[in-house]
Amino acid sequence: MIQVNYADLANDLYWFLNNGQENVRLNWARAYYKQIKGEKTMTTEQRLFLDIHAI
């Protein structure tokens, strides 16, 4: 299950709609590919599943 922080999402959407698209995209990409210490790496299939369902 993926948890959503609605306050952060609202903030990101605000900046995305107010000429901050590039920064929001970069922050989302960094968060997506960030690997937390001790956490298992996602398989390609798991990433693809998340990519498809996030659209």
| Two structure tokens written together for 44 | 């390609």
Give Rg (Cα) of the chain: 13
Are 5 and 11 within 8 A, CB to CB? no
- What pLDDT is recorded for position 55? 47
pLDDT in tens, the chain (55 residues): 778 889 999 999 999 999 999 999 999 889 888 866 666 666 666 666 655 555 4
Q: Global pTM?
A: 0.56
- What pLDDT is recorded for position 38? 67
- What pLDDT is recorded for position 3? 84
- What pLDDT is recorded for position 4? 86
